Amino acid sequence: MNRNIPFFNMIINILFPHNCIFCDRKLSFFGNEYCCDKCREKIFKTKENESKCLICGRKIGGYGNNKVCTNCAKNNIHFDASYPCFEYSEGVRNLIHKFKFRKQMFLNKYVSDYMIEAMDRAGVPEYDFLVYPPVNLSTFFERGYNQTRLVAVRIGKHYKKKVLKGAIVKTRQNPKQSLMTKGMRFINVKGVFKVKRKFRKLIKGKNILIVDDVMTTGATASEIAGELKKNGALSVYVAVFAVSGE
């Protein structure tokens, strides 16, 4: 019976041709892959003994015995640790773009599953609840969904942990972080998030995991972590799909 499955896959692939989720290259009719060989080589490569920032988890370049990246050394980061899944390379950027701006919501499955694998590998500490950053109202109405909420729900389901939906809200509609220079990003999010009143009791004395898609400076996650801690959260960790280089 098993013998027939590859043939069945091939028929499905001929009827519904599929492309690499990272670079959109057409994939072969054979096999059951969603990533081309080139992307697999580039995106999944792991180097032994690579130094990572103890706070944000990004690769630390250069020489010396630095334990944190220049970004985390320069800024006051409020989360305890971050667990990135991939580096923000071209293919990863393309996937995120499709998931975020082109309504390709089916990509949630891949984003979440890759993140779960990375979290298992890294050994994320015990936590009680998941939260995700809110988007501006105009973005939400334009897009119709908040992609990080979809990811948080799928990850929460996998680990059987509760997602505090809508727990983090915006106090004002600030300009998009992507329009800001690195130096401006911490200023742009200052005081922009708060914990919704009905969740405040719940998070007291608890450990929280923030789920996000991309981390550049970590300003958003840090600001949310700071708010959670102000409301009594003990530790705040971050799981993020992609982190930019140092």
Q: Does 20 bind Zn ion (CB under 5 A)?
A: yes
- Of 41 and 120, nearer to Zn ion (C-beta) is 41
- CB of residue 110 to Zn ion, shortest distance in Å: 12
Stretch that binds Zn ion, among 63-71, 92-100, 147-155, 174-182 (CB under 5 A): 63-71
Using alpha carbons, select from 151, 157, 115 the residue that is nearest to residue 133: 151
Using alpha carbons, select from 59, 63, 7, 60 the residue that is nearest to residue 32: 7
d(CA 37, CA 48): 21
* Greatest CA separation for the chain: 61
138-156 per-residue burial string, b: 16 or more CB within 10 A, e: under 16? ebeeeeeebbbbbbbbbbb
Q: Does 95 bind Zn ion (CB under 5 A)?
A: no
- 91 near 22, Cβ under 8 Å? yes
Strands 162-163 and 129-131, sheet pairing: parallel
9, 10, 23, 81: residue in contact with Zn ion (rule CB under 5 A) = 23
Q: Does 150 bind Zn ion (CB under 5 A)?
A: no
- 165 near 146, Cβ under 8 Å? no
Q: Does 53 bind Zn ion (CB under 5 A)?
A: yes
Q: Does 209 bind Zn ion (CB under 5 A)?
A: no
Strand partners, 82: 238
Using alpha carbons, select from 232, 225, 230 the residue that is nearest to residue 75: 225
Stretch that binds Zn ion, among 49-57, 123-131, 155-163, 237-245 (CB under 5 A): 49-57
72, 96, 107, 225: residue in contact with Zn ion (rule CB under 5 A) = 72
Stretch that binds Zn ion, among 39-47, 166-174, 190-198, 205-213 (CB under 5 A): 39-47
Q: Does 36 bind Zn ion (CB under 5 A)?
A: yes
- Of 146 and 216, nearer to Zn ion (C-beta) is 216
Stretch that binds Zn ion, among 10-18, 55-63, 99-107, 228-236 (CB under 5 A): 55-63
- CB of residue 67 to Zn ion, shortest distance in Å: 9
Q: Does 221 bind Zn ion (CB under 5 A)?
A: no
Would you state the structure tokens that stand for residue 182, as one six-digit string? 């690195």
Stretch that binds Zn ion, among 10-18, 61-69, 169-177, 184-192 (CB under 5 A): 61-69
- 35 near 20, Cβ under 8 Å? yes
Binding site for Zn ion (CB under 5 A): 20, 22-23, 25, 36, 39, 53, 55-56, 69, 72
